[in-house]
Amino acid sequence: MTSSPRLNLSFVMPAQAQKHVTVNEGLERLDAIVQACAVSRTTVQQPQDPQFGDSYILPDGASGPDWDGEPEGAFLTFTDAGWSASHTLTGLRVWVKDIPALWVFDGANWTPAGGPDLDALDRLGINAGADSVNRLVVKSDAELLTHDDVTPGSGDARKVINRAGPGNTASVVFQNNYSGRAEFGLIGDDDFALKTSPDGSAFSPSMILSAGRNKAEINHPLDVLGSPVMTADDKPLLVANLRSSSYDYIDNEVVQLDEAIDSHNGFDPVNSTYTIPHTGFYFVQIGMVTRSVSGDVSTVQVRLYKNLTVRQSVTARNTEINTTRLNDASLISFSQGDIVTIRAQINDPDGTVRFFSGTRITLFRVV
């Protein structure tokens, strides 16, 4: 054996002449690769005035009087005898000044000593293992994404989740022990949605902000400062109009009405009564238009009654018999099941009154 197996350093042979030459060549090669340092691994053109001891890792296409013909990745050092190639054995580490970073030869290529090129990773796991589905995995009690104050950047910090198209999903999912409980984002369409799940499999929308319909949809009951916010189901609405303008009403007779709007189906057209569907405070407005009277009638009222006998504060009164429309309104407390009617009242028990079609009742729950 005439040379070492790993570094290919020539041995001094028995009775060899000029032993110092062999020893000095070996020392020069050791000087190049022990705690090795290269000026660059991207310099293509051979330097004209290299310093003694300068080393380079040759890139693809390197050229020059002494570099021509050298393979990509060769490790060359400038010595007193010119450019000398060191044996690039597997595991050789070289600090590259112009990057700067530590690079290692893996037997075929030079790669960053800390691992593969971070610009071309197919997956990354931090304190955990990544896989083909979860290509980035971070296992940590906290993660921080902050603005760039080093480059420096603009001061903004904008995070982007990009999907292929409207039928795909771009969302963030929150889990309990890897079982989903909430998700928000663009989930299968262009609307921004917030969905929740009790079991991780069935998700129901809690809120949808429409991209095309210009509205927000809340799909759960709301509480504001501890008080529930009413939904459409909680806000009954009744609008009922006078049935006939040719009917003569006597004193205290129920005004006959037909519903125009009855959101909760509480109106009874036979008896012209309305059954309150939910307990609460209701805004009530009564309108009256007097058409004509008979007898000694000088005062006409249309008054609201609760449960057929209890008079309420809403009264439309006309002391001068004419066709002027009068309105009165109030907030009234009702309990579920209360019966609401309006009655005609006149000051002559033997007289009658007729109303025009503007006579009506409007009622809706506000609290």
Res. 30: pLDDT tops 80: no
Q: Can you tell me which residue has the tokens 């009855």? A: 262
CB 190 within 8 A of CB 201: no
CB 44 within 8 A of CB 59: yes
Residue from 17, 9, 1, 16 nearest 84 by CA: 9
The residue that leads in pLDDT, 227 or 49, is 49
d(C-alpha 260, C-alpha 363), whole Å? 12
d(C-alpha 120, C-alpha 116), whole Å? 8
Give the range with max mean pLDDT: 15-29, 217-231, 313-327, 328-342.
328-342
pLDDT in the model for residue 296 = 86
CA angle (1 as vertex; 17, 70 as ends), nearest 5:
85
d(C-alpha 265, C-alpha 259), whole Å? 10
Percent of the chain with pLDDT over 70: 89
Specify whether the backbone of 309 is left (phi greater than 0), alpha (psi in -120 to 50) or beta.
alpha
pTM of the model: 0.44
CA angle (357 as vertex; 356, 361 as ends), nearest 5:
110
pLDDT in the model for residue 275 = 96
CB 221 within 8 A of CB 324: no
Pick the CATH number of 234-365 from 1.20.120.1760, 3.40.50.720, 2.60.120.40, 3.50.50.60: 2.60.120.40
**pLDDT tens digits, 185-224:** 999 999 999 999 999 999 999 999 998 888 888 887 777 6
pLDDT in the model for residue 76 = 92
In the numeric block, which tokens belong to residue 4? 């070492």
**pLDDT tens digits, 236-262:** 899 999 999 999 999 999 999 999 999
Residue from 258, 266, 287, 252 nearest 362 by CA: 287
In the numeric block, which tokens belong to residue 32? 């190049």
In the numeric block, which tokens belong to residue 363? 């009622």
pLDDT in the model for residue 116 = 59
d(C-alpha 23, C-alpha 18), whole Å? 9
**In sequence order, what are the residues at sequence separation of 6 or more whose Cβ sits closer than 8 angstroms to the Cβ of residue 320?**
none
Percent of the chain with pLDDT over 90: 55
Per-residue pLDDT, averaged over 271-299, amounts to 90
pLDDT in the model for residue 343 = 93
d(C-alpha 85, C-alpha 83), whole Å? 7
Whole-angstrom CA distances from 339 to 271, 305, 316 are 11, 8, 19
Three-class DSSP category at 32: helix
**Which range has the worst mean pLDDT, 21-25, 105-109, 140-144, 305-309?**
21-25
Asked if omega into 152 is within 30° of 0 (cis), the reply is yes
How do the domains of the chain map onto residue ranges?
A: 19-112, 120-146, 169-220, 234-365
**Which range has the worst mean pLDDT, 73-82, 109-118, 136-145?**
109-118
Residue from 97, 47, 42, 51 nearest 78 by CA: 51
d(C-alpha 238, C-alpha 267), whole Å? 8
pLDDT in the model for residue 32 = 63
Report the 10 Å Cβ neighbour count for 217. 13
Residue from 204, 202, 239 nearest 220 by CA: 204
Report the 10 Å Cβ neighbour count for 304. 23
- Mean pLDDT of all residues belonging to the chain: 87
Three-class DSSP category at 189: coil
Per-residue pLDDT, averaged over 274-300, amounts to 89
pLDDT in the model for residue 215 = 84
80 — pLDDT class (breaks 50, 70, 90): confident
The residue that leads in pLDDT, 353 or 213, is 353
Residue from 234, 334, 231, 196 nearest 276 by CA: 334
d(C-alpha 327, C-alpha 322), whole Å? 14
Res. 79: pLDDT tops 80: yes
**pLDDT tens digits, 321-332:** 666 678 888 999
**pLDDT tens digits, 127-154:** 999 999 999 999 999 999 999 998 888 9
